[in-house]
Structure 1
Amino acid sequence: MPLSLHTALVPTWLQILGSCNNLIDKAEAFDCDDKELLSTCLAEDMLPLAYQLKSCAVHSLGAIEGVRKGVFSPDMNEPPANFSDMRNLLNNAITKLEQVEESELESYIGQPMRFEMGEFKLHFLAENFLLSFSQPNFFFHATTAYDILRMKGVPVGKRDFLGAVQIVTS
């Protein structure tokens, strides 16, 4: 039985967005200043934690919204400046992703899709945009967020990154 586009994307996005919320919980319990931590970069030429977490919402829910419109442009608005607002952003993405129907995503297969950033444009089919552009970006930003927290000493491990894996219970 072939895997649907929905099955290939949405459950894993939900899993990792949930783990991002858990990472925020761990950072709060570490008793650090959220504004300082959210402005921390892994490397000098990289964007800060706040951008990394925001980008998880952008490359999941935002990607679906882009496919719906046929065009995706990165959200260049300022990311949330505190843990509470960041958690709200992630929870909004989770809530809206939970409402995406499998039939809707399947209906986009084969549809043209465009990435735009200023004058730069890339043309995709919707499924290729989601699987070869947004999904890798999503994991890049989630991993970078995790790495920033590790670098700052927040006690997080692989289980915190993985979140609630999809297991079969007997």
Structure 2
Amino acid sequence: MSIPLSSIAKTQLDQTYRALDGILAKAAAHAAEHKVDEAVYLDWRLTPDMFALKRQVQLVSDFSVRGLSRLAGQDPVSIPDTEATFDDLRARLAAARAAVWALPAAALDAEPSGEVTFPAGPGKEMTLPRHAFVQNYVLANVLFHASMVYAVLRSIGVPVGKRDFLAV
């Protein structure tokens, strides 16, 4: 029995959105409890050459919405990068979830043996089979950036653990 790409993608993304929503809620509470401006947390990074926490959340939504929209053959919903608070980031994730769930399963599951061509850096394109695009590009990028959100917050003392990341 094969599992449709729409089911694989939406199930994993839904878990990731729920996990990040909970993690960001804990981060907001931690910042308030310690009387730290949320901007300090949102601009935090593990090393100088990596994206800040805020950008990591934006990339979770960007990879998921753009990737699955491309898979469905639709133009992605535009989500501007204007977040300044944890509530803004949580709203962004809710918007990303809504955009992903609005994509028709039939369009996501079309042409199981087809390919997807997508931008892969400035002036570069890459082509992958549809299943590899979802599993090895879209979901891999979403989970990478989600884990960076977890790691950044954990590094500054927000009490999150594996159960939070797994949304259980």
> What's the TM-score, normalizing by structure 1?
0.84
In structure 1, the residue matched to 2:103 is: 100
- 1:19 touches 1:162 (CA, 8 Å); kept in 2? yes
C-alpha change, 1:89 and 1:22, in structure 2 (3 Å) is same
- Aligned residue pair count: 161
In structure 2, the residue matched to 1:84 is: 87
Deviations 1:11-41 (A, max 9, x none): 1101111111111110111123211111001
Which deviates more, 44-53 or 122-131?
A: 122-131
- 1:71 touches 1:114 (CA, 8 Å); kept in 2? no
Does residue 151 of structure 1 match 2:147? no
Structure 2 counterpart of 1:130, from 111, 130, 134:
134
Structure 2 counterpart of 1:142, from 113, 126, 146:
146
- The Cα RMSD (Å) is 2.2
1:69 is displaced (CA, Å) by 4.4
In structure 1, the residue matched to 2:69 is: 65
Query: What are the ranges of 5 or more consecutive residues in structure 2 without an aligned counterpart?
Result: none
In structure 2, the residue matched to 1:33 is: 37
In structure 2, the residue matched to 1:167 is: none
- 1:38 touches 1:50 (CA, 8 Å); kept in 2? yes
Distance 1:102 1:70 in 2: 12
Deviations 1:106-129 (A, max 9, x none): 115314322243212222233322
Distance 1:50 1:86 in 2: 7
> What's the TM-score, normalizing by structure 2?
0.85
Amino acid in the other structure paired with 2:12: T
In structure 2, the residue matched to 1:13 is: 13
- 1:50 touches 1:79 (CA, 8 Å); kept in 2? no
Distance 2:67 2:126 in 1: 14
Deviations 1:128-170 (A, max 9, x none): 2222111111110000100000000001111111114xxxxxx
In structure 2, the residue matched to 1:168 is: none
Distance 2:116 2:37 in 1: 44
